[in-house]
Amino acid sequence: SAARMNANDLHSKEQELCQGSTTFKNKIMLAPMVRAGRLPLRQTCLQFGADYAFTEELIAKKVVQCARERFEDHKMTYLLKRSEGVLQVKDDQRDKTILQLGISQAVDGVRAAEVTQDLVAGIDVNFGCPKPFSVKNGMGVVLMDKMEVAEDIVKSLRRNSNVHISCKTRVGDTDAISVERVRRLQACGAQAITIHCRQRDDRPIVPANPERIRPIIDCAEVPIVINGDVKDRNHALQLMSDTGAHGAMIGRGALVNPGCFSSSPVLAEDAHREWARNVVLTQDNFTPYKYVMIKYVLENEQVQFIKRANIGLDWWNWKYSHNFGDIGLERQMPLPAAVQAVIDNKLKRDKCIKRSLANEPKHGQPAGELQGDIAQSAEKQERRGDQEQQVAVVASQMSETLLQKSCRGSPKFSYRSAGS
């Protein structure tokens, strides 16, 4: 039959893959996470023992529009859209990097794979994101209600790419629904499936239920990876043993402590310091790291200070160039102009005076009021100068203490550091 021939074709293609090809069996991986899953975190987690590191979800249509820039001296490739750095991959991490794509139709996925498949070890399709942006644009978990489209995406990627193809989804409303989805996904060519042990409408505050994965594993013919509230390597191994899952994926646990992949205890403080060091070394955007620091690491008074002062990249660069004297700013690798432009824009503080002093009155303003506006603007600039001096003083005082605090987790995700 046609179905049997199609299955045979997929089996033959899998046999053609070289030995040592990507597999998620017995692997512990960094989960795809928006904002966080950029090169610095991926590099840090790989250093501490992650078997694979997923990128943050990238929209396939956006990836297709990217231009590629190669930096041979640094053994690194950028995908850029206008002045935005979309993806950054180092040569020595290609066989450990999995690109997650948000795809609404097969043709977009195939085109994105053509652009990226030589940069990564595999491509993962996001069938689990419940966020409004994904759902409204026909991506993520909504495709589990359109299985024909999901199947077409997976089949097309298998036929038209030469890398490992996997997908990530959530448990269904019932075990029967979950099992049926997995059967259809593996039948159309998915080489591994990650199951987030929450349902579509569950948010992180709702505990994941690993027991929901057991019926799926019983019917699976491909590796099944467990995800959802996995804290560290030991916890991952325990869940794999308890449920029969073939692999595990760590998300927020890696934000709390990127050293969670290590087989030996790593203090969250030390792991975050290495993450910060990698941010400096790669000169990536500091905003994702700052977001994680605010949400998971810093004490409340430090968070409030950073938000009030609107600390920019200049201060963060200053701090880390002092903390990591072995990688002084003069020895950091140069950036392409397009990427540097993005970073430079981040230096502009939201509350800066955006309007320069005009030489003419504004429309409808009497000329006599212009001098008053100039005087007020000059006064504001003077006050701002005083404020910036105060910020610099407090920042220097904080420089020795900012990362010295142990991880305290978030109210929604309690987690003990590896040293506790």
**For 75-106, how does the pLDDT look when each residue is reduced to its tens digit (9 = 90+)?**
889 888 876 788 999 999 999 999 999 999 99
- The rounded radius of gyration (Å) of the Cα atoms in the chain is 24
Segment 55-72 shows an average pLDDT of 91
Query: Between 223 and 316, whose confidence is greater?
Result: 223
Q: Round to whole Å and give the CA distance between 291 and 288.
A: 5
At residue 165 the predicted structure's pLDDT band, cuts being 50, 70 and 90, is very high
3-state secondary structure of 73: helix
* Cα 402–Cα 272–Cα 43 angle in degrees, nearest 5: 145
Structure tokens at 352: 């800066």
Assess contact for 190 and 164: CB atoms under 8 A: no
Instruction: Check residue 397 and give its pLDDT.
Output: 43
Segment 140-162 shows an average pLDDT of 95
Segment 258-262 shows an average pLDDT of 96
Assess contact for 32 and 124: CB atoms under 8 A: yes
> Could you give the strand order of the β-sheet that contains 84-90, starting from the edge strand earlier in sequence?
67-71, 76-81, 84-90
Query: Between 325 and 65, whose confidence is greater?
Result: 65
Q: Round to whole Å and give the CA distance between 125 and 217.
A: 20
Statement: residue 246 has pLDDT above 50: yes
Residue 317: count of CB within 10 angstroms of its CB: 18
Phi, psi of 267 (to 5 degrees): -65, 140
Segment 159-173 shows an average pLDDT of 95
Q: What is the pLDDT of residues 37-49, one digit of tens each?
A: 999 999 999 999 9
At residue 168 the predicted structure's pLDDT band, cuts being 50, 70 and 90, is very high
Statement: residue 367 has pLDDT above 90: no
Q: Round to whole Å and give the CA distance between 58 and 386.
A: 42
Segment 211-238 shows an average pLDDT of 95
Instruction: Check residue 376 and give its pLDDT.
Output: 62
What whole-number percentage of the chain has pLDDT above 70? 65
The DSSP string of 292-358 is HIIIIIS-HHHHHHHHHHT--HHHHHHHHHHHTGGG-GGGSPP--HHHHHHHHHHTS-TTS--SPPP
- Residue 129 CB contacts under 8 Å (≥ 6 apart), including other chains: 57, 102, 135, 139, 140, 141
Kindly compute the dihedral angle of the four CA atoms of residues 157, 163, 169, 174, in this order, to the nearest 10 degrees.
Answer: 80
Structure tokens at 186: 């593996």
Instruction: Check residue 374 and give its pLDDT.
Output: 52
Closest CA to 54 of 91, 101, 8, 10: 101
Closest CA to 55 of 85, 10, 14: 85
Q: Round to whole Å and give the CA distance between 321 and 277.
A: 9
Segment 160-172 shows an average pLDDT of 95
Q: Round to whole Å and give the CA distance between 205 and 178.
A: 22
Q: Round to whole Å and give the CA distance between 161 and 213.
A: 29
Phi, psi of 301 (to 5 degrees): -65, -30
| 248-257: burial string, b at 16+ Cβ within 10 Å, e else | bbbbbbbbbb
